[in-house]
Structure 1
Amino acid sequence: MCDIGYCKHCNEMIMIECPDEATKEEKNQIATKYCKCEKAEYEAKKELEIEKAKQRIQQLFGEEAEKMGFDLIAEEDIHNLMNFVVFLIANKKIKGTTIEINGMTKAKISISSKGKINIERAQAIKYKLEA
């Protein structure tokens, strides 16, 4: 269904496609995504960066981690914590953090000098043999 929504930043009226049951707030959210004002474009860019960072977390700590030679970190709470850290960084609440997961694995999430969110996994493997 075609309807009208308003950008929540500049209040520009925008024709949008939305479900029949969409609320006024949902219509305005959709309109904001399509608005070309500076604040709306910044918000869209930030949302895209958050999604990319969440995908990187999944790559490094989820099922895809095994392709890189890492063990899967299956605890949903840990993934939720890392996703929340990404949200805090994207919203400029913190600059980064390091999470020690299991004595061997560390997750470092930070902002680069270029403003990109970095996801890093370090895994210490140590062998000691005595003869």
Structure 2
Amino acid sequence: MSISKIRIDFWLTGDLFEADEVSEILQIEPTKFKRKEEYPLPQTALTSWKLSTKKEECKAVCWQFEKLINLLKGKEGLIIELCEQYELTASFTVVVEMEAGNGPELVLTKDIILFIAAINAEVGFDLYID
């Protein structure tokens, strides 16, 4: 059996905003930025600024989550301001690739939950099971 592979994505999504401005304010370059016009159905899409960890073999979701939060820690106020100013939504996606019966520990620690709450973010889970 192989170890699960985990990646965590942090998203700022909204109708229209500029990646450069968000990156400058947060002092972080995104992993990916995509304008809503670039999606196949722009009328239902949102512009997205994404910061991701590398997909790595890992036995606990919290280990990858902590890597991403360490990059964002201390910027909670800036994230809230960006969300208010540009009507953005902050969210995290936990992506897990695993074999059936060999999944990682899916625990969000108190510190992770406090950070998520501090920036008024949501969390989603994408599980890919072979």
Q: TM range, normalised to the smaller chain? A: under 0.3
Task: Normalising by structure 1, report the TM-score.
Answer: 0.26
Q: TM-score, structure 2 length as denominator?
A: 0.26
From the two aligned structures, give the one with the greater strand fraction: 2
Q: Which of the two has greater helix per residue?
A: 1
- Of structures 1 and 2, the one scoring higher in RCO (CA 8 A, sep 6+) is 2
Higher alpha-carbon Rg: 1
